[in-house]
Amino acid sequence: MYRYWGPDAIAYGPVELPEFVTWIKQGRVKADTWVHLDADRRWVRASEVTELKMFFKPKGGAAEQGPSGAAGQIKAENLRRIKLFSEMDHQQLESLLHYMELVKVPKFTVLFRKGEPADSMFFILEGEIRARKMIEGKETTLFTWQAGEAFGETALLSQGPRAADVVANENAALLKLPEKAFTRITTEAPALATPFLLSISKSITTRALDLGKRYEESIRMGTATEGMHF
């Protein structure tokens, strides 16, 4: 089993050798990265580990790759557009990128439909997204999200079915966090998962309070209408 000490001051792992080699190929572990060998109970430089040395020979290839799914296209500073990440530092954002996938969504695309299994949440880099439901045969917009916002966090945590259809109002660029990647964050890097989960909790709370206000206003409007005579 192997662990490594990341530039964000977080220990990742433990994982077995094949997964650790994948991290090397993704560029997450470099020759001078500190690696903990569980069997020997000691920290050494990655380039000093016998079974890892071959992966640090200059090849101009895999070991220089960026984050999986966002390689060469998205950088940590791009995540500053997302409100959910406003309190996370640069190194934490760099680490998060390794778990995300960049998704380009054409206008009017249905990302998912009500009732489908929830297997991911999304962060909007560009474009506009809406959640809709069909009520008495008519489409009703529940939410509209702009660049900088996120959606799908409740379903990701509950792993229940999607509560509504979600459609792209415009061409959009999204970062997708699959459920499997989210689980990996919590097991591989609990110290990274903590600020991320705190941000999600704040987002869910804010949305719940907003829904409560909207519901209260709808009741007031209904009461006012009942008092009118035509």
Q: What is the pLDDT of residues 16-74, one digit of tens each?
A: 888 888 888 888 888 999 999 888 888 999 988 888 888 886 544 444 444 544 434 77
Q: Please report the pLDDT score of residue 68 as a whole number.
A: 47
pLDDT higher than 70, residue 168: yes
Instruction: Residue 48: name the closest of 4, 101, 103, 97 by CA.
Output: 4
Are 181 and 100 in contact by the 8 Å Cβ rule? The answer is yes
- The 3-state DSSP class for residue 78 equals helix
How confident is the prediction for the chain on average, in pLDDT?
Answer: 82
Residue (of 204, 213, 206) closest to 155 by Cα position = 204
**How would DSSP label each residue in 178-230?**
EHHHHHHHHHH-HHHHHHHHHHHHHHHHHHHHHHHHHHHHHHHHHHHHHT---
Main-chain dihedrals φ then ψ at residue 132, nearest 5 degrees: -135, 155
Q: In this predicted structure, what is the pLDDT of residue 2?
A: 86
Give the pairing of strands 172-178 and 120-126.
antiparallel
Enter the tokens of residue 158. Answer: 């509950």
pLDDT score at 223? 53
158 or 169: which leads in pLDDT: 169
Percent over 90 (pLDDT), the chain: 22
pTM of the model as a whole? 0.67
Q: Whole-angstrom Cα distance, residue 51 to residue 64?
A: 19
Contact (CB, 8 A) for 34 and 44:
yes
Closest CA to 203 of 166, 165, 163, 156: 156
- Tokens (6 digits) for 135: 């009520």
- What 8-state DSSP symbol labels residue 117? B
